[in-house]
Chains A and B, each alone.
Chain A
Amino acid sequence: MELGPYLILGLLEGLVTAAVLSLMALGLSLVFGVMRVVNVAHGEFFMVGAVLAWWIAGAVGGHPALGFLAALLLAPPLTAGLAMLADQLVLKRIGYDPERTIVATIGLLYVIQQITLMTYGPDARPVEAPFNQRLSIPFVEWTPEGLSMYWPWGLGTTSYKLAVIAAAVILLTAIWLLMTRTRYGLLMRATQLDRETAQAFAIPVGRVYASVFGLGAGLAALGGVLIVPIQQAHYLMGHDPLLLSFIVVIIGGLGSLPGTVVAALLIGVSDGMISVFFSPTLAKIIATLAVAFVLIFRPQGLFGKRAL
Chain B
Amino acid sequence: MTDLQKSWVLHLGIIALLFVLQFILPAYHHGSLARVMVLTCYAMGYNILFGYTGLLSLGHALFFAAGMYGLSLSIAHLDWNAGPALLAGLAAGFAMALVIGMLLLRTAGVAFMIVTLMFAQAGYLTVLYFGEWTRGDEGFVIQQDLRRIAGYDLSDPTNRYFAALLLMAACIIITLRVVQTGFGRVLVAIRENEERTRMLGYDIQRHKLAAILLSGTMSAAAGAAYGLLFGYAGATFASVQYSIFPLLWVLLGGAGTVLGPFIGTLFMFYLIDLSSELTTAYMLIAGLVLVALTLFAPQGLVGELRRRTMRWLP
Contact = CB atoms under 8 A, between A and B. Distances in A.
Interface residues of B, number: 40
Given A102-B110, A104-B291, A285-B125, 6 more contacts: A100-B298, A102-B58, A106-B247, A108-B291, A110-B287, A296-B115
Interface string A279-302: 101101100110110011101000
A250 interface: yes
A250 B282 CA distance: 32
Contact of A115 (B109, B114, B284, B290): B284
Interface stretch (B116-124, B152-160, B161-169): B116-124
Q: Which 7 A-B pairs have the closest CB atoms?
A: A110-B287, A107-B290, A114-B284, A107-B291, A111-B287, A114-B281, A292-B118
A110 B285 CA distance: 8
B251 interface: yes
Contacts of A115: 281, 284
B295 A117 contact: no
B125 A250 contact: no
A246 to B, nearest CB: 7
Interface stretch (A90-98, A128-136, A204-212): A90-98
B289 interface: yes
A124 interface: no
Contact of B295 (A104, A110, A299): A104
A41 to B, nearest CB: 9
Contact of B113 (A102, A109, A118, A122): A102
A289 B115 CA distance: 9
Main SS of chain B's interface residues?
Answer: helix
A243 B58 CA distance: 13
A191 interface: no
B53 to A, nearest CB: 13
B290 A285 contact: no
B281 A94 contact: no
B209 to A, nearest CB: 15
A295 B125 contact: no
Interface of A: 38, 90, 93-94, 98-100, 102-104, 106-115, 117-118, 122, 243, 246, 250, 279, 281-282, 284-285, 288-289, 291-292, 295-297, 299, 308
Contact of A106 (B106, B119, B128, B290): B290
B287 A118 contact: no
A114 B287 contact: yes
A295 B247 contact: no
A118 B276 CA distance: 13
Contacts of B110: 38, 98-99, 102, 308
A296 B129 contact: no
Contacts of A122: 280
A295 B110 CA distance: 10
B281 A117 contact: yes
Contacts of A118: 279, 281, 284
Given A94-B295, A295-B115, A104 B290 contact: yes
A182 B94 CA distance: 54
A264 B74 CA distance: 41
A115 B294 CA distance: 20
B127 to A, nearest CB: 10
